[in-house]
A = this chain, B = another copy of it.
Amino acid sequence: MQDELIRARAAARIANSLQRTDKDRALLAMGEHIHLAAGAILEANVRDLERARATGEPTHRLDRLRLDESRMKAMVEGLHQVMALSDPVGEVMSAWTQPNGLHMEQIRVPFGVIGIIYEARPNVTVDAAGLTVKTGNAVVLRGGKEAFETNLALTAALRDGLEQAGLPPDLVIMLSDTDRRSVDALIRARTLVDLVIPRGGASLIRHVVEHATVPIIETGVGNCHVYVDAQANLEMALDILINAKTQRPSVCNAAETLLVHTSVADAFLPKSLRQLATLGVELRLDERSLSIVQHDAPDIVRANSVSPMVTVATAEDYATEFLALILAVKIVESLDEAIDHIGRYGTGHSEAIVTEDDQAAREFLTRVDAAAVYHNASTRFTDGFEFGFGAEIGISTQKLHARGPMGLRELTSYKYLIRGAGQIRS
């Protein structure tokens, strides 16, 4: 594996000074070669699927693993979209001249070698390669075991494309080991790897945080809240809540907890919780919400006595990213209490306030410490495409370097170029 990383480093040195046209030509060729190798890629995918089925993988994981014509087409289109984006490398972030005549320039540069650790979905292989090639980085991919043959076939095609475009194929390297040790080797390869982005479940992220010595960007854990303020437009609040909770509950920007100001709890909760229950959402209610619901919407409490739709919320519920059709609910006395609750349980991902009160909105936006803070909009918009970045390598939940959706710019570092005429320091 050391050898694979050394090859990536050598390729990164070359990619460091490529022009946009070179990189875009490579992206086009990478897409063409995926098209040319479609047969081999789909066959490899069938073998991965058969093996996964034999080992009893659940249906939703088989579905994530499966490639077909339309998913192949989407991957190639993704490369074309990245081609169309402007290249951040070489952008002058700032420039000035010091009194002593030194001319200073701060310019964006590639990181060098970026490691990406991910799980089953094979499209990440192509997306990540496209974004890193566009930004002049080499990428070392460590995909999931289930998708190994598919990823290998995809990587072979991507490397053929790079070669055809005259770029080093080692800009895209798929690690041949898929065990935990390969993760550990990657996240501890200081001097060879400049950055690792783990994309996966909480246990992968925890492992990487604990053992990495290479700089990392944490992604994806989102315990997100919707706060319905005293001055909320309650119809808008219901639309936003339903969207944030149910439109795609398995993703990190879905809402997990509803906070409701006490003054609108009676007006808002019975109707909204009944509607959520109708949509199949399990409810974990604090005692006051529960008593409102028992009084005003007893039907949803009774609905399922065997597998109850409504239970009493615990502190653990408030701390949990359900990633499922489950919603925790709490009534708060004030905006302050809502902000405190989010400070205690939130993961710094996406938080929303629904209110017509500009002062309350400003307070919430300023004081809530999260990557994306919304006023009168759904948390589901935290996404590189919805932000207009045209691409996304992940959503950062740390504060160092990048926060929220990461596009091309977030895959670059910078350096200072200083031009003088013999200046020395006195």
Q: Which residues of A contact B (CB under 8 A)?
A: 13, 16-17, 96, 98, 102, 104, 109, 111-112, 190, 194-195, 209-210, 213, 215, 217, 233, 236, 239-240, 242-244, 247, 343, 361, 365-367, 369-378, 380-382, 386-388, 398-401, 403-404, 413-426
9 contacts between A and B (CB under 8 A): A98-B387, A112-B399, A233-B422, A247-B426, A373-B415, A376-B422, A377-B419, A377-B420, A380-B425
Q: Is the CB of B376 within 8 A of A420?
A: yes
Contacts of A367 in B (CB 8 A): 13, 16-17
Contacts of A374 in B (CB 8 A): 418-420
Contacts of A400 in B (CB 8 A): 194-195, 215, 217, 400-401, 413
- Extra A-B contacts (5), CB below 8 Å, given A372-B418, A373-B416: A13-B367, A16-B369, A374-B420, A375-B418, A380-B425
Cross-interface CB contact of A378 among B111, B399, B423, cutoff 8 Å: B423
Cross-interface CB contact of A414 among B17, B403, B416, cutoff 8 Å: B403
Central interface residue in A377, A378, A403, by most chain B CB within 10 Å: A377
Cross-interface CB contact of A425 among B365, B378, B417, cutoff 8 Å: B378
Q: Is the interface of A mostly helix, strand, loop or mixed?
A: mixed
Identity of the chain B residue whose Cβ is nearest the Cβ of A387 in the assembled complex: B104
Q: Is the CB of B415 within 8 A of A377?
A: no
Contacts of A424 in B (CB 8 A): 239-240, 242-244, 247, 377-378, 380
Identity of the chain B residue whose Cβ is nearest the Cβ of A383 in the assembled complex: B425
Identity of the chain B residue whose Cβ is nearest the Cβ of A368 in the assembled complex: B415
- Give the distance to chain B from A90, nearest Cβ to Cβ, in Å: 9
A18 to B243, CA, bound (A): 34
Q: Is the CB of A387 within 8 A of B416?
A: yes
Contacts of A413 in B (CB 8 A): 399-400, 403
- Give the distance to chain B from A360, nearest Cβ to Cβ, in Å: 13
Cross-interface CB contact of A399 among B98, B111, B421, cutoff 8 Å: B111
Contacts of A425 in B (CB 8 A): 243, 247, 378, 380-381, 386
A209 to B387, CA, bound (A): 34
A372 to B424, CA, bound (A): 15
Contacts of A217 in B (CB 8 A): 400
Ranked nearest first, the 6 interchain pairs of A and B with the lowest CB-CB distance are: A377-B420, A243-B424, A399-B413, A401-B401, A380-B425, A215-B400
Contacts of A365 in B (CB 8 A): 417
A426 to B239, CA, bound (A): 11
A272 to B425, CA, bound (A): 18
Contacts of A233 in B (CB 8 A): 422
Contacts of A13 in B (CB 8 A): 343, 367, 369
Identity of the chain B residue whose Cβ is nearest the Cβ of A90 in the assembled complex: B366
A98 to B384, CA, bound (A): 12
Q: Is the CB of A371 within 8 A of B416?
A: yes
Identity of the chain B residue whose Cβ is nearest the Cβ of A215 in the assembled complex: B400
Contacts of A388 in B (CB 8 A): 96, 98, 104
Contacts of A387 in B (CB 8 A): 98, 104, 416
Cross-interface CB contact of A422 among B213, B240, B373, cutoff 8 Å: B240
Identity of the chain B residue whose Cβ is nearest the Cβ of A399 in the assembled complex: B413
A190 to B210, CA, bound (A): 11
Contacts of A370 in B (CB 8 A): 415
A135 to B30, CA, bound (A): 45
Q: Is the CB of A377 within 8 A of B102?
A: yes
- Give the distance to chain B from A292, nearest Cβ to Cβ, in Å: 24
A295 to B186, CA, bound (A): 49
- Give the distance to chain B from A334, nearest Cβ to Cβ, in Å: 15
A426 to B387, CA, bound (A): 15
Q: Is the CB of B373 within 8 A of A417?
A: yes
A104 to B367, CA, bound (A): 17
